[in-house]
Structure 1
Amino acid sequence: MTAVTTDTSSEPTATERSRVGRKDLWQIIKFGMVGGVNTATFYGCYLLLHPHMPYFLAYTLAFVISMVGSFFMNTYFTYRTKPTWAKFVRFPLTNVTNYVITSVGTVVLVSGCGMSDKIAPLVAALAAIPFTFVLSRKILTRTA
């Protein structure tokens, strides 16, 4: 009778799982910090542009400006990866989900619910945070 051996070399140890868990948690915290700065940038741009154009155009321009800042803050700070042109080109694709969620949310909140067009973009942005984290992490940490 032979002894059955199980090769566990491919399974992470408890220490490795703990390290990965802490790394993930720290990335989520840093993503939240970048998101706070990015939201302030977006909102500041939105408020500056809003008096000079329709709210949705101001919203869209502020979104694009803050997305460029978000790319650099997330590459350098959150994921500690090198920004490349390939990542920069792909990064907006990950924000399509964010844009759709926040755009639809903003319009629904303003037009459908009567919420102030100055507050609605902030409320709508909260719903997009989990989706944006997952997608940006996938794009920015993927090796091209």
Structure 2
Amino acid sequence: MTLHTKEIWLHWRQDFWRLFRFGITGTLCSLIHYGVYCLFLLFTNTTIAYTAGYCVGLICNYALTTYFTFKGKPTKNNAAGFVGSHVINYLLEIGLLQFFLWLGASKWLSPILVMVIVVPINFLLLRFVFVKNNHKKLKG
């Protein structure tokens, strides 16, 4: 195996396991998000319930994404990038939630449909935040 091929293999392997850990993190945080959503849905509307679930899930997600998925430590840069990516993600999710409700999907099913779409997008956004910052540290 040439040095270049070995580097490609190591990057692929590292990305595979990062994606695997992200799946675990995403699943756990999505379950928490959905659980809070369902609880709040008992006494409020879908947008407030979804926002409450999102906020609770966000806290869990930052901790697990930082320590488990990307094996890093909290910093001002990754916290700012995380929040920034989640502002984009939240707006996308609320828009999709309203779209699925408008299409006639139930208020219980709509968040699940939303998460199926946005979880891969969120991974790409967070990968950019965490991996980009790690590459800057290694070069600098």
**What TM-score, normalized by structure 1, do the two folds share?**
0.85
The code of the aligned residue for 1:52 comes to: F
Cα shift at 1:85: 3.7
Cα shift at 1:45: 0.7
- Counting matched residue pairs gives 133
Could you report, residue by residue, the CA deviation over 1:69-96 in whole angstroms, capped at 9, with x for unpaired residues?
Answer: 1011011101000012442233111112
Higher helix share: 2
Structure 1 distance, partners of 2:17, 2:81, is: 24
Unaligned runs of 5+ in 1: 1-11
Structure 1 distance, partners of 2:92, 2:81, is: 19
**What TM-score, normalized by structure 2, do the two folds share?**
0.87
Cα shift at 1:13: 1.2
Partner of 2:18: 27
Once structures 1 and 2 are overlaid, which stretch shifts more, 112-121 or 94-103?
94-103
**What are the residue-to-residue correspondences of 1:4-15 with 2, within 5 Å?**
13-15=4-6
Indicate if the aligned counterparts of 1:43 and 1:62 stay in contact, CA closer than 8 A.
Answer: yes
Indicate if the aligned counterparts of 1:34 and 1:73 stay in contact, CA closer than 8 A.
Answer: yes
Once structures 1 and 2 are overlaid, which stretch shifts more, 88-97 or 59-68?
88-97
Aligned counterpart for 1:106 among listed residues 92, 97, 109: 97
Indicate if the aligned counterparts of 1:102 and 1:124 stay in contact, CA closer than 8 A.
Answer: yes
Structure 1 distance, partners of 2:59, 2:81, is: 12
Partner of 1:51: 42
Q: State which structure, 1 or 2, has the greater radius of gyration over its C-alpha atoms.
A: 1
Structure 1 distance, partners of 2:79, 2:43, is: 29
Partner of 1:5: none
Say yes or no: does 1:90 pair with 2:91. Answer: no
Unaligned runs of 5+ in 2: none
